[in-house]
Homo-oligomer: A and B are copies of this chain.
């Protein structure tokens, strides 16, 4: 059941020294944000925290309390720096247990890959009371505990986990967006943007300037959960830009 009035929100906690050290370029924010939009859930806030129990516990407890859903990525592998499950168990005040189905999945996966060692068995550990999220890409499953979704850090594995969750989370109306582009300095049309947004309830206009081919331009993204309102706002914005002699390109430049 979807309820159009209510806005469903999610937070994302990215767990990993590799992001904070600059070694790895995060790709999960954009990927999870785009997936959430389609589920009718708004990504409200993101935190990146170190592989540090206290930091993870703080982020998890704040974010899960004030959002409908909390996603985490990273720190669920077999090595010593993978402490996400233990830290989330601490945050929840529950023990860590081996999930029998996760164990079976891993036994099967490693049957022809050298067997299920103690390190590999770490990936079957979950906070007590958890369900599994299917991993279509590699052995170790993701974990769901209440409104917390514990996912892999490697983006294509995360993608597979998101796919298996598609359509299973209660959300509101999907957030729709349309983009138009224009060869104009955003500072030249700031008042026009503000006025257009104000005249169209339930629409937000984002302005994304660029400098290309020696000229300045901007793309404008209009977002709304209401298709008619969105279309009306885009049409008004196009008219306003063209009225000052600035042709508009559908879909952006």
Q: Which residues of A contact B (CB under 8 A)?
A: 14, 17-27, 29-37, 42-50, 55, 77-81, 110, 113-114, 117-120, 122-123, 138, 154, 175, 177, 185-188, 190-191, 193-194, 197, 204-211, 221, 223
Contact of A23 among B79, B117, B177 (CB under 8 A): B177
Contact A79 B207 (CB under 8 A): yes
A-B contacts, 23 of them at CB < 8 A, read: A17-B206, A19-B30, A19-B46, A21-B43, A21-B175, A21-B221, A22-B33, A23-B221, A25-B29, A26-B26, A26-B30, A46-B47, A47-B47, A47-B48, A77-B207, A79-B186, A80-B197, A81-B207, A117-B188, A118-B191, A119-B187, A119-B188, A123-B187
4 closest cross-chain pairs (CB), A and B: A22-B33, A119-B190, A22-B34, A46-B48
Q: CA separation between A244 and B141, bound complex, in Å?
A: 28
Contact A46 B25 (CB under 8 A): no
Main secondary structure of the interface of A (DSSP, over half): mixed
The distance from the CB of A45 to the nearest CB of chain B, in whole angstroms, is: 6
- Residues of chain B with a CB closer than 8 A to A46's CB: 14, 19-20, 46-48
The distance from the CB of A240 to the nearest CB of chain B, in whole angstroms, is: 14
Contact B187 A78 (CB under 8 A): yes
Q: CA separation between A79 and B207, bound complex, in Å?
A: 7
Q: CA separation between A48 and B47, bound complex, in Å?
A: 6
